[in-house]
Amino acid sequence: MAYEVRFHLQRGKNYRYWQVKEKDKGKVWYVNPENVQLFMSDCTLVNKLNKAKKVHVSGKKDVSGWISCKHLELHPPETYPMSYLEQLFYNPIKDPHWRRAGDDMEMVWDEHSCGSLVTRNNQVYLLEEMCCLWEPEEQAV
């Protein structure tokens, strides 16, 4: 199953809830971040950069980024401790890119693949980075 997850900031009953889109089923549902901690795996930090830049310049909210994941679980709050996890940031009004706190906000994380992410309230944390295994090229003899 494929999901798209983002923090919903449009006024209304689901304001400041996590919006979850089930891509395969075409369903959309909302989760109160105070009652649930999301666990997402096999994730990509999606950013529609041109749209994000327009939001950044205008200061007007519009959907330009989300988390795409293949697996999603809902847990009670504080299931995953946050003590040693690094926070990810996405607010195109302030900065048109995904950022990570541990990089002093210098590295761009747009379209970065992550092994797993967890939420705490309205925040996203990196639980496991996606590691790439590579084989060194054989030396010609």
- Residue 13 to residues 4, 19, 22, 120, Cα–Cα distance (Å): 20, 12, 20, 20
pLDDT at 83: 85
Alpha carbon distance 40, 43 (integer Å): 7
Cβ atoms of 7 and 18 closer than 8 Å? yes
Unique residue bearing structure tokens 């959907």: 63
Q: Can you give the pLDDT of all 141 residues of the chain as single tens digits? A: 899 999 998 889 999 999 999 998 999 999 999 999 999 999 999 999 999 999 999 998 899 999 999 999 999 999 998 888 999 999 999 999 999 987 877 889 999 999 999 999 999 999 987 654 444 445 454
Is the Cβ–Cβ distance between 89 and 95 less than 8 Å?
yes
Q: Report the alpha-carbon distance of residue 116 to residue 130 in Å, rounded.
A: 8
Task: State the Cα–Cα distance between residues 18 and 32, nearest whole angstrom.
Answer: 6
**104: Cα separation from own chain's centroid:** 18
- Distances from the Cα of 20 to the Cα of 7, 33, 43, 71, 86, angstroms: 9, 12, 14, 12, 22
pLDDT computed for residue 33 by the predictor: 96
Closest CA to 88 of 3, 7, 1, 10: 7
Q: Is 9 left (phi over 0), alpha (psi -120 to 50) or beta?
A: alpha
